[in-house]
Amino acid sequence: MGLLIKGGEIVTASDRYVADIRVDGGTITGIGTNLEARTGDETLDAAGKLVMPGFIDPHVHMELPFMGTVSADDFESGTASGIAGGTTCIIDFCMQGAGQTLPQAIEEWHKRSAKAVTDFTYHMAITNFGPNTPAEMREVVEKHGITSFKVFMAYKGAIMVDDGQLYLIMKEAAKLGAVVTVHAENGEAVWNLQRELVAAGCMGPEYHPVSRPSAIEGEATERALMMARLHGTTAYIVHMTCKEAVHALERAKLSGQRCYGETCPQYLLLDDSVFTKPDFGGSAFVMSPPIRPGHVGHHDALWAGVANRMLDSMGTDHCPFTHEQKKAGLGDFTKIPNGAAGIEDRLTLMYSYGVRGGHFDVQRMVELGSTAPARIFGLAKKGSIAVGMDADIVIYDPSGEGTRSAKTHHSRCDRNIFEGFKTYGHVATTIVNGKVAWDGKKLMTTRGSGRFVTRKPSHFAQHAEVKV
C-alpha cells in the first residue's frame, strides 16, 4: 500500500510549487500533478499546507551521561518528541567514555539507539586522543560510516580536549575527509571564572552566564577555525550564540575557508533575563554556551547570520534535564546539569519567528533545518523532496495559532524553555520512512523502527596532510 499526498505546496531549499507526491515503501516514487490513488493507497489531503522534507536535527543528546546524571529523553522518547515537531532524523553525539576506544563507544551507543523511532547517525566525540586514536578514527569513518567527529573545547576535568589534542584531531580528520564539529568555549577561562565566582559566594543560576562571557566563545571559535585552516579540515561550529563567534566564522568564510556554523532557537529567542526566574526556575535555562543578554548585538548577529548564510544550520542541542535533575546545582551553579529540551519546538518556532517574523523565507527555513544538515553531514537520501529520496516528509499547516508548553510536548522533560511562546501554525503530519507517525494529535511510532544511517566522507574531502 502506497501513500499519496495531494495538492500541497512542496517546499525545498530551492523551490516552491503545488504538486502531488507518491510514496511507495520508504521512498518518494513520484511527483506530479493529478496523480491518481491506486487501490489500497492512503491519500492525504495537503491543500493549503506546506509539504517539506522531514527536518533533520544535527545536534541532540539522547540519554547522555553528563554532569552526574543522564539526559531525560532516551532515543525513543526523544525521537518521538522530534516527530511531533516535524523532525525525522537526528544526529546524536556518541561519547567516548573514560578508558573507552572509539569503536567501543559506538557499540555502546548502538545499544542505546536501538529503540529510536526515526533514523539517526552520530558525530563521534573524542574525549581523549591516544596513540591508537588515528587508527580508530579511520575505522570510525571507513567501517562504521560515521564521517563527523566532535570536540569539546570546554568542560575541563571531564570531556574537554586541550590544544594539542585539537591539533591532532583536526589533522587526522582532514586526512579522512571528515567534518570536525566543535563546542567552542575556552574551557580554561571558564574554569577560572567559575572558581572565582564560587569563591566570592556567587552561587545562583544567574552566575552561569557570568562564568561564560561571549569573549570566551569568540576566542575559542577563532582558535578552532584557525586550527582547521592549518590542516585544511572542514570545521562545523555547533550552537553559536554571540556576535564574536559569528564574526570569527565570517572572517574564515570570507577568506575562503570551508567551514560551517549552527545556531539554535533558544539563542535567537531568549535573553539572559531568564536566569533570574524565581524558585530556581533559572536553572531550566542553564546550558553552554549560555543564553546571551539582549540589546548588545548578539541576537542581531545571529538573525543576520541565518538570513545571509554566514550561519548554515539550525539545530536544537536537545539535552533535557528535569527540574529534579537540575537541583543537583541548588547552591552551586557549576553543578547544574547543562542542557534543555528543544527538538519538538524547532520547526514551529522557525516558522513563527523566522518566517512570519520576516527574517527568512520558507525555502531558507527548509535549508537551515533539513537540507543543509543533510548536505554538510552526508545524509545522501535526506534533506529534499525528489524521486528516490527517503520518504521522510513533514506537512505544516500554517493556519491557526498555538502556544509552546511542557504540558503538551512529548519530551520527558517537565520544563519547556519556550513555555508560553505564541506560534503560528502547527505540524499537521509527519511521515517517517513512508509511514504516518504523527497526525497532528497523536504519535504512531514503533519502538526500534529507526535505522542507523551510514555516511560517506564529503566529496570535498581533500585528504590533505600538512608537511611540517
| C-beta closer to ligand URP: residue 339 or 457 | 339
Residues 6+ apart with CB under 8 A from 324: none
Smallest distance, ligand URP to C-beta of residue 180, A? 15
317: contact with ligand URP by CB under 6 A: yes
DSSP β-ladder status, 69-70 and 42-45 = unpaired
Smallest distance, ligand URP to C-beta of residue 19, A? 39
DSSP β-ladder status, 27-32 and 16-24 = antiparallel
288: contact with ligand URP by CB under 6 A: yes
Q: Which of 76, 172, 250, 317 binds Zn ion (CB under 5 A)?
A: 317
Residues 321-340 that bind ligand URP (CB under 6 A): 338-339
Smallest distance, Zn ion to C-beta of residue 183, A? 3
Q: C-alpha cell of 342?
A: 528543544
Helix (H, G, I), strand (E, B) or coil at 9: strand
Q: What is the DSSP letter of 35?
A: P
Q: Which of 183, 243, 299, 381 binds ligand URP (CB under 6 A)?
A: 183
| C-beta closer to ligand URP: residue 127 or 288 | 288
The answer to whether 72 and 404 are in contact (CB under 8 A) is no
**Which partner from the list Zn ion, ligand URP, none does 287 bind, CB cut-off 5 to 8 Å by kind?**
ligand URP
219: contact with Zn ion by CB under 5 A: no
Give which of 84, 111, 86 is closest to 97, Cα–Cα. Answer: 111
Give which of 432, 448, 420 is closest to 394, Cα–Cα. Answer: 432
Residues 40-99 that bind ligand URP (CB under 6 A): 61
Closest-approach residue to ligand URP (CB): 338
Task: Give me the torsion for CA of 362, 365, 366, 367, rounded to 10°.
Answer: 120
Residues 66-125 that bind Zn ion (CB under 5 A): none
How large is the angle between the packed helices 243-254 and 298-308, nearest 10 degrees?
A: 30
CA angle 364, 152, 55 (to 5 degrees): 25
Part in contact with Zn ion (CB under 5 A); list of ranges 105-113, 137-145, 218-226, 314-322: 314-322
Spatial distance between the Cα atoms of 336 and 68, rounded to a whole number of angstroms: 10
Among the residues of 200-258, which ranges form H helices? Answer: 214-231, 243-254
Residue 250: CA atoms inside 13 Å, Cβ hemisphere, count?
15
**Which partner from the list Zn ion, ligand URP, none does 338 bind, CB cut-off 5 to 8 Å by kind?**
ligand URP
| C-beta closer to Zn ion: residue 64 or 102 | 64
Give which of 273, 282, 293, 271 is closest to 333, Cα–Cα. Answer: 282
209: contact with ligand URP by CB under 6 A: no
Residues 6+ apart with CB under 8 A from 216: 185, 186, 189, 190, 193, 289
The answer to whether 336 and 326 are in contact (CB under 8 A) is yes
Part in contact with Zn ion (CB under 5 A); list of ranges 101-109, 178-186, 353-361, 375-383: 178-186
Instruction: Write the single-letter amino acid at 328.
Output: A
208: contact with ligand URP by CB under 6 A: no
Smallest distance, ligand URP to C-beta of residue 288, A? 4
Q: Which of 183, 298, 382, 415 binds Zn ion (CB under 5 A)?
A: 183
Smallest distance, ligand URP to C-beta of residue 152, A? 7
Q: Which of 23, 169, 235, 287 binds ligand URP (CB under 6 A)?
A: 287
Smallest distance, Zn ion to C-beta of residue 239, A? 6
**Which partner from the list Zn ion, ligand URP, none does 346 bind, CB cut-off 5 to 8 Å by kind?**
none
Part in contact with Zn ion (CB under 5 A); list of ranges 162-170, 175-183, 251-259, 275-283: 175-183
Smallest distance, ligand URP to C-beta of residue 7, A? 41
Spatial distance between the Cα atoms of 221 and 243, rounded to a whole number of angstroms: 11
Smallest distance, ligand URP to C-beta of residue 452, A? 21
Q: Which of 90, 91, 319, 336 binds ligand URP (CB under 6 A)?
A: 319
Spatial distance between the Cα atoms of 124 and 181, rounded to a whole number of angstroms: 9
Residues 426-445 that bind ligand URP (CB under 6 A): none
CB atoms within 10 A of CB 157: 7
Residues that bind ligand URP (CB under 6 A): 61, 183, 287-288, 317, 319, 338-339
Residues that bind Zn ion (CB under 5 A): 183, 317
